[in-house]
Amino acid sequence: MTTQLVHDSEYLPRICGMLRQIEEQEMDAIRQAASAAYRSIRGGGLLHAFSTGHSHMIVEELFYRSGGLVPVNPILREDLMLHSGAITSTRLERKCGIATEILEQAGLAPGDTLLLSSNSGINTVPVEAALYARERGVTVVSVTSLEASALLKSRHPSGKKLCEVSDVVIDNHAPLGDGLLELPGSSQVTGGASTFGSLFIAQRIVLCIENLYLADGLRPPVLSSANLPGGDEFNRELVQQYQGRIRALR
């Protein structure tokens, strides 16, 4: 009897194919997101980022990293991330009122931009966050799987999905179930996809924002690596400009 195995050698080409789809099909939306964030920052505001579960990694990717933009406000709450309780996190992201409670304390202001990532786009917290932000004059950018959203039912009381309540929608091109491979003899998928797509999108947005600065003859507020000689000194002046609004920079 021949043992069936996961076709793991297909993982790399499938990931690369997914990223190529994003590059070829989502650049208009990515540029729209970058333009919104650039207008916010140049107007004295911020690019905020908020997500739950595994999707919170897009927030980490955007905030306080070498080569990253300084005026990014990370909105992270521990009980919505997996390390402090995975089952609790899953339960809470389906509850009403959580997003409002968090965003009321996040320092959103009219004219700001908020980036939300949710692969399914159906859970209550990201949908509620988008509605809350838009009501307050904040541009909402969502990163989501349009394939998954189309096939799943919203858990928000309105029946709306994240892609339906956002100003700019970027498809991460992750498949339903968020796996690129199948376990033999079952319908179960494996080989995670959405994190790669979302982090790639985050970096493409950053690069587009930097080019908007450069096109206006301005130097983008980009962090140096703190591990390079002079990195701390270089970053100190940039960080001081935003410490008043970004709590996580203190």
Among candidates 37, 72, 70, which has minimal Cα distance to 234?
70
Res 84: pLDDT: 85
Long-range contacts of 226-235 (CB under 8 A, 24+ apart): 226/66, 227/66
pLDDT band at 24 (very low <50, low <70, confident <90, very high): very high
Give, as one character, the DSSP assignment of residue 3: P
Least confident interval from 11-15, 61-65, 85-89: 85-89
HEC letters along 179-226:
EEEECCCCCCEEEECHHHHHHHHHHHHHHHHHHHHHHCCCCCCECCCC
d(CA 249, CA 174): 32
pLDDT band at 2 (very low <50, low <70, confident <90, very high): low
Across the chain, mean pLDDT equals: 96
Q: Are strands 113-117 and 168-171 parallel, antiparallel or unpaired?
A: unpaired
108 and 140 Cβ atoms separated by less than 8 Å = no
117 and 55 Cβ atoms separated by less than 8 Å = yes
d(CA 197, CA 148): 14
d(CA 81, CA 84): 6
pLDDT band at 16 (very low <50, low <70, confident <90, very high): very high
d(CA 86, CA 89): 5
Res 92: pLDDT: 87
d(CA 6, CA 211): 41
pLDDT at 1 over 80: no
pTM above 0.85, yes or no: yes
For residues 28-44, give the mean pLDDT. 98
pLDDT at 3 over 90: no
For the stretch 196-208, pLDDT in tens is 999 999 999 999 9
246 and 235 Cβ atoms separated by less than 8 Å = no
For the stretch 203-241, pLDDT in tens is 999 999 999 999 999 999 999 999 999 999 999 999 999
d(CA 8, CA 86): 27
pLDDT at 69 over 70: yes
> Which distant-in-sequence residues (6+ apart) come within 8 Å of 144 by Cβ?
117, 118, 119, 120, 121, 161, 162, 163, 169, 170, 171, 172
